[in-house]
């Protein structure tokens, strides 16, 4: 197992992206120096095709799938779009009544936005499945929706693990309920693969999204795993690559690097998960001691079943009276890199839809920070955060009061 280069300072934003492992980087560089389009018939093209197919086999083996079920994409967002739009169109082509798309209210925008695009442009009806205050999908609501509209549902999409608060979803229960009505299930497993066991076949899902840069691979490459008999329409059209549903010249260096990183990650996952859980628990306890007002969001790892219900490398807090952006910038100046939530929404002055769906008020949601751990994380990173946090929170709250900010229970 090779160790990635450690980012400067305390890097606590692995949920946004991870550093490439040395083996993944070496694989990328080696392939980037070779010519050959994987669709070409000459010797260089055949060599490139061989790399792609060996990588496909490796990805499939790591994720409990058949090689023919692996469709390479340019990352998680494309894979989610292909799943939501492609399955919707495929199912509707078979049965025009299939217009309902059921998604949990805490999905990543790469799932929510294409779903709502379908509502605005393709006649879809979107149903947001509610979640509890830990961010776990309401199975009773799903059961009722399927029972009432079983002939109208095109697909269900529920993420394996939430990217903000780290909650693990009951994916197998979702599959069991949906399959009783012949409805396919997609899951975005982007955050899960590096930290918890993910098995495509055993889970029963019909389609699953993964990406390279969340597990030590390069950005710009990922995959949609999809059963061969799943009706799915192409979103990109062109040369007919990847089962005809994802046209485009294959990025051989990125695909090889992704496969290497994934195999490494899966092999190291049990030991790494235990290490990350211990670091997370120290981080959670330290934040609570440093700021008793801070509220952990998502399942509490200190509870009987909480540790098994969230990602081992995730700790998400709201800090009443402090703006998340202020906390972020103050921590960054102290050499600690974290996040207010999804990097895709960074800089947008609106509360997290995930927290709002969990019942958190807009006021409290504005004070959110996500700390996410990964392969390069150490106790030093946690200690550096805890050393900086008390002064950072104090300054952020003081700034909020001076500029007409907010405190919990007070005016915005």
Q: How far apart are CA 244 and CA 247, in angstroms?
A: 6
- Which helix H or strand E contains 304, and what residues bound it? none
For the domain made up of 269-402, give the CATH fold.
3.90.1150
The confidence score (pLDDT) of residue 109 equals 97
Q: How would residue 127 be classed by pLDDT, with cut points 50, 70 and 90?
A: very high
The confidence score (pLDDT) of residue 5 equals 53
Question: What is the model's pTM?
Answer: 0.93
Q: Tens digits of per-residue pLDDT, 151-196?
A: 999 999 999 999 999 999 999 999 999 999 999 999 999 999 999 9
Segment 251-266 mean pLDDT: 98
Phi, psi torsion values for 395, nearest 5 degrees: -70, -40
Q: Does domain 22-263 have CATH number 3.40.640.10?
A: yes
Q: Tens digits of per-residue pLDDT, 299-328?
A: 999 888 888 999 999 999 999 999 999 999
Q: How far apart are CA 343 and CA 77, in angstroms?
A: 13
Q: How far apart are CA 33 and CA 198, in angstroms?
A: 33
Cα(first)–Cα(last) distance of the chain, in Å?
50
Domain assignments of the chain as residue spans, ordered by start: 22-263, 269-402
Q: Residues 29, 122, 144, 344: which is the catalytic one?
A: 344
Is the confidence at residue 348, as pLDDT, over 90?
A: no
Is the confidence at residue 82, as pLDDT, over 80?
A: yes
Q: Tens digits of per-residue pLDDT, 349-396?
A: 689 999 999 999 999 999 999 999 999 999 999 999 999 999 999 999
Q: Tens digits of per-residue pLDDT, 83-98?
A: 999 999 999 999 999 9
Q: How far apart are CA 129 and CA 137, in angstroms?
A: 7
The confidence score (pLDDT) of residue 412 equals 30
Backbone dihedral region for residue 205 (phi beyond 0: left; psi -120 to 50: alpha; all else: beta):
beta
Are 166 and 310 in contact, with CB atoms under 8 Å apart? yes
Is the confidence at residue 408, as pLDDT, over 50?
A: no
Q: How far is CA 116 from CA 107, 157, 194, 282, 339, in A?
A: 12, 13, 29, 40, 26
Is the confidence at residue 211, as pLDDT, over 80?
A: yes
Q: How many helices (H) and strands (E) in the chain?
A: 12, 12
Verify whether residue 344 is a known catalytic residue: yes
Q: How would residue 400 be classed by pLDDT, with cut points 50, 70 and 90?
A: confident
Looking at 53-67, 117-131, 260-274, 398-412, which range is the least confident one? Answer: 398-412
Q: How far apart are CA 177 and CA 191, in angstroms?
A: 23
Is the confidence at residue 409, as pLDDT, over 60?
A: no
């Amino acid at each position: 197992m090779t160790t990635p280069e450690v980012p400067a300072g305390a890097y606590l934003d692995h949920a946004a992206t991870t550093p490439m492992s040395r083996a993944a980087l070496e694989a990328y560089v080696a392939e980037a120096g070779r010519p050959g389009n994987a669709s070409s018939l000459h010797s260089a093209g055949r060599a490139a095709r061989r790399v792609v197919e060996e990588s496909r086999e490796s990805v499939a083996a790591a994720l409990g799938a058949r090689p023919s079920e692996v469709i390479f994409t340019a990352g998680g967002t494309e894979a989610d779009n292909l799943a939501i739009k492609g399955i919707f169109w495929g199912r509707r082509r078979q049965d025009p009544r299939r217009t309902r798309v059921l998604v949990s209210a805490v999905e990543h925008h790469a799932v929510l936005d294409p779903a709502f695009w379908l509502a605005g442009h393709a006649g879809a009806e979107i149903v947001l499945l509610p979640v509890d205050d830990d961010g776990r999908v309401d199975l009773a609501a799903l059961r009722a929706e399927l029972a009432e509209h079983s002939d109208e549902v095109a697909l269900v999409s529920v993420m394996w693990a939430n990217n903000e608060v780290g909650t693990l979803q009951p994916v197998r229960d979702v599959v069991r309920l949906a399959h009783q009505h012949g409805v396919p299930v997609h899951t975005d497993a982007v955050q899960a693969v590096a930290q918890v066991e993910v098995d495509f076949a055993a889970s029963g899902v019909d389609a699953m999204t993964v990406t390279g840069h969340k597990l030590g691979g390069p950005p710009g490459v990922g995959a949609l795993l999809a059963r061969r008999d799943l009706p799915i329409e192409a979103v990109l059209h062109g040369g007919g690559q990847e089962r005809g549903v994802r046209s485009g010249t294959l990025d051989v260096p990125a695909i090889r690097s992704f496969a290497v990183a994934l195999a490494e990650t899966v092999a190291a996952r049990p030991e790494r998960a235990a290490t990350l859980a211990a670091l997370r628990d120290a981080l959670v306890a330290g934040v609570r001691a440093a700021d008793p007002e801070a509220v952990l969001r998502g399942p509490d790892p200190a509870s009987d079943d909480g540790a098994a219900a969230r990602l081992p490398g995730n700790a998400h807090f709201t800090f009443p009276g402090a703006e998340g952006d202020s906390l972020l910038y103050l921590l960054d100046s102290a050499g600690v890199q974290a996040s207010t939530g999804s990097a895709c929404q960074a800089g947008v002055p609106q509360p997290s839809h995930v927290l709002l769906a969990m019942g958190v008020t807009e006021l409290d949601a504005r004070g959110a920070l996500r700390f996410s751990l990964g392969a390069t994380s150490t106790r030093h990173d946690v200690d550096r955060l805890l050393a900086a946090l008390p002064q950072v929170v104090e300054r952020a709250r003081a700034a909020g009061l001076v500029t007409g900010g907010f405190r919990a229970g007070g005016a915005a």
